[in-house]
Amino acid sequence: MTTALVLIDAQQNMLVGDEAVPSAPDVGPALADLLARARAAGAVVVHVQNDGGPDEPDEPHTPGWELVHAPEPGEHVVRKGECDAFAGTDLAGLLSRAGVRTAVLAGMQSQYCVAATARGALGQGLDTVLVAGAHATYDEDEDAHAISRATEQDLRAEGVRVLPGAEVAFTAPPDRAG
């Protein structure tokens, strides 16, 4: 089965600097590891980039909007304006054309864009995997780590597989398989 790594909003404003999510020192390397493993396997890689509004930290074409990991040739960038990366984009079509059956999700923010995109992937009939320790958020009414754990529990109950990064395997589309 072809797998895609979908990196959600892994942008400068969330992962770099004083305004980064509290767990950026742990999540940043987890995202880099997943990306390196997906690339090495020849898997489909999709970078989802949030387009914020004027004067927001992820306003298009500002430093905070830039992706932390530059896409390599053959990788896809999907820009979105809603939490669910499937809403108003061609993400579903892109994954379908590539023969993807499993979407591996990681990125920002756990209870918002990650959760909405996981639900969107389920709605597309995809086997959906959320990588534990490779998504994060900010402190709100609760500690950021507690919010991320609660998001995992909620999504697991809805049919998302939550796996540690070490248990995630990537497979390439047939035209890229070695």
- Active site members: 113
- Reference 30, options 102, 121, 130; nearest CA is 130
3-state helix, strand, coil in the chain (%, to 5): 35, 25, 40
Distances in Å between the Cα of 65 and the Cα atoms of 1, 22, 23 are: 33, 18, 19
What is the pairing mode between strands 100-108 and 127-136? parallel
The DSSP line for 20-70 is: S-TTHHHHHHHHHHHHHHHHHHT-EEEEEEE---TTSTT-TTSGGGSBSSP
CA distance 3 to 143: 32
Q: Which residues pair with 104 in a beta bridge?
A: 5, 129
Count other C-beta atoms under 10 Å from residue 159's C-beta. 12
